[in-house]
């Protein structure tokens, strides 16, 4: 009887451990899809901005922390942390900058979101960072809507001048322009839509030097309204979709 009880306890313990591991491992966001690679934040927080190249070096901001990876997100190193939110990372000439400001602008029937206010800089590919104290207007001021000197995160513009913008699908219908909305993917200025394999809260967009599109945001979303939750995390662990091919 004692042996039976001992074996039963061992089985129960193993079952509990297996169930816990399964919950952790059963991530609904796959590591890759036919059209996409994915990157996942090392902390339980949404990713708001990214810079780099999937095959070389990637930097991601989870708002107050900055992480760096050189192995396609298998391992991340925290390289910076600050009390001022890091809305994104940009490259200006041969230097990287963290940007603490986000400006939304509109003109006629167009809208855009741009990064402003540089606060730290790096000259070693994001390994180390120092306080930025210069006053270059490109990195500090608020540009005019049509200015070429700006850091767009939504929409972003391909070399052929086609724009890619976060698709805001309002729940009250296609003709509604305010209220609750979802972000199933991106919409091009040509009218074509690109939907992600799952629903996410998309925060920003980015093109790398190979013109691959990065769609940056939260964990996959399960449910809506009062039943809203993130599928694999409590706080929306960030996810980035990286297109396998360059965008035309």
Residue 5 included in any domain: no
pLDDT of residue 115: 97
Residue 21 has pLDDT above 80, yes or no: no
Q: What is the pLDDT of residue 227?
A: 87
| Count of CA atoms in the C-beta half-sphere (13 A) of 111 | 8
- What confidence tier does 180 reach under pLDDT thresholds 50, 70, 90? confident
Range of the domain at 192: 28-241
Distance CA 97, CA 76 (A): 19
- pTM of the shown model: 0.87
Q: Is residue 151 part of a domain?
A: yes
Q: How confident is the model at residue 173 (pLDDT cuts 50, 70, 90)?
A: low
Q: Residue 21 domain-assigned?
A: no
- What is the pLDDT at residue 93? 95
pLDDT at 225: 74
DSSP-derived secondary structure for 202-240: EEEEEE-TT-EEEEEEEEEEE--GGG-EESS-SS---EE
**In-domain check, residue 19:** no
Strand residue runs (E) in 62-211: 63-69, 77-86, 88-92, 95-107, 110-122, 130-131, 151-154, 156-157, 163-170, 181-188, 193-207
Average pLDDT in the 34-40 region? 98
Per-residue pLDDT, averaged over 234-245, amounts to: 97
Tell whether 2 is covered by a domain: no
On the question of pLDDT at 193 being above 90, the answer is: yes
187 pLDDT above the threshold of 80: yes
**143 is a domain residue:** yes
- The CA-atom distances, in angstroms, between 189 and each of 13, 155, 165, 195 are 56, 10, 8, 15
| Counts for the chain of helices (H) and strands (E), in that order | 2, 17
Given the structure tokens 């809260």, which residue do they identify? Answer: 201
Domain count, the chain: 1
Residue pLDDT, tens place only, 102-153: 999 999 989 999 999 999 999 999 999 999 998 899 998 899 999 999 999 9
Whether 158 is covered by a domain: the verdict is yes
Please tell me the predicted confidence (pLDDT) of residue 10: 36
Cα angle at 165 between 91 and 102, to 5 degrees?
A: 50
pLDDT at 198 over 70: yes
Asked whether 203 and 49 are in contact (CB, 8 A), the reply is: yes
Structure tokens at 21: 């591991």
Whether 180 maps to a domain, the answer reads yes
């Amino acid at each position: 009887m004692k042996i039976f009880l001992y074996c039963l306890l061992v089985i129960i313990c193993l079952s509990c451990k297996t169930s816990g591991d399964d919950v952790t491992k059963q991530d609904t966001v796959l590591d890759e899809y036919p059209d996409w690679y994915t990157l996942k934040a090392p902390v339980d927080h949404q990713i708001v901005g990214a810079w780099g190249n999937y095959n070389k070096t990637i930097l991601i901001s989870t708002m107050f922390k900055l992480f760096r990876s050189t192995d396609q997100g298998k391992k991340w190193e925290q390289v910076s942390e600050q009390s001022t939110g890091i809305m994104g990372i940009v490259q200006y000439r041969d230097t990287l900058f963290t940007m603490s400001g986000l400006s939304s602008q509109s003109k006629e029937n167009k809208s855009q979101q741009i990064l402003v206010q540089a606060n730290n800089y790096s000259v070693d590919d994001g390994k180390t960072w120092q306080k930025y104290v210069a006053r270059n207007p490109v990195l500090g001021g608020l540009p005019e809507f049509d200015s070429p000197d700006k850091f767009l995160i939504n929409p972003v513009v391909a070399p052929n001048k086609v724009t890619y913008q976060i698709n805001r699908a309002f729940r009250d219908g296609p003709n509604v322009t305010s209220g609750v909305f979802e972000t199933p993917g991106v919409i091009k200025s040509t009218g074509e839509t690109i939907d992600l394999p799952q629903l996410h809260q998309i925060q920003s967009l980015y093109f790398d030097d190979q013109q691959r599109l990065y769609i940056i945001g939260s964990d996959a979303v399960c449910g809506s309204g009062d039943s809203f939750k993130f599928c694999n995390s409590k706080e929306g662990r960030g996810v980035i979709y990286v297109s396998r091919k360059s965008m035309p």
